[in-house]
Amino acid sequence: MAEQTYSKTELMICVAARLFEDSSTCFIGTGIPMLAAMLAAKTTAPNLVPVFEFGGLGAILEELPRAVGEARTFHKGLSASGICDTMETAQRGFIDYGFLGGAQIDPYGNLNSVVIGEHDHPKARLPGSGGGNDVGSLCWRTIAIMQHDKRRFVSKVDFVTTPGYLSGPGAREAAGLPRNSGPAYVVSTLALMDYDPGTCRMRLKAVHPGVSVDEVLEATGFELVVADDLSTNPPPSAEELRLLREEIDPEKLYI
């Protein structure tokens, strides 16, 4: 077997980038989602419309933004407004995808980025929601990007920051959230997951190169459904790696 020439982070970015649909509107967070959006715009989704929390809409991402409110998120954009306008755009149903992260995720795609342990007496207090609740509630589909281990993939999150399918089929609608919305994928350091349409539970869709199904199951703190058509994600291509290393993140801020 040839020696692996890419990192786990680079693989995650490439797998996430391939999930972007061309001409879709996508709410982009800081870090890996930015790199994935830039890679998608240079490869499979040239008409991608990135949306940033602090008001940048449709920016041309020629240089990697450092945060969701800095100048590069407005560069040559369609509009430059503010956070209230961005959230209202999502509430009106105009944002297709939201890319999110968190400290914990459960079988139904609920995310926690607030506390570990009890809310009033936590073991650790995390950065908080930011726009995470709004994105998970109002964008039509969400994609989570996570490190994969039992501390993060848990049977029940300590706090629901961002709603997934809540407790299962019908729960989002009962809570007043848009019908036919919810989590679409999870990209982890081990695999790509989607959700079973009948049960709304997380489902193993494709493992990363060199990763076995047993490794993924062992690193997951709940029973993970395995897709009948389970596959292996293609490794990063030479062109994807060139774009990441030379054009997108030459300073290696994330990769």
Closest CA to 196 of 107, 79, 73: 107
Say which residues have a Cβ less than 8 Å from residue 12's Cβ, sequence separation at least 6. Answer: 32, 145, 187, 188, 189
CA dihedral of 9, 206, 61, 98, whole degrees rounded to 10: -110
| SS3 state of residue 193 | strand
How far is it, in rounded angstroms, from Cα 163 to Cα 32?
Answer: 21
Which residue in 3, 53, 88, 173 is the catalytic one? 53
Other beta carbons less than 10 A from residue 165's beta carbon: 23
User: Is residue 108 within 8 Å of 170, Cβ to Cβ?
Assistant: no
Residue 53 annotated as catalytic: yes
Continuous H helices in the chain: 8-17, 32-42, 83-91, 132-138, 171-174, 213-218, 238-242
How far is it, in rounded angstroms, from Cα 10 to Cα 14?
Answer: 6
Which of the residues are catalytic?
Answer: 53
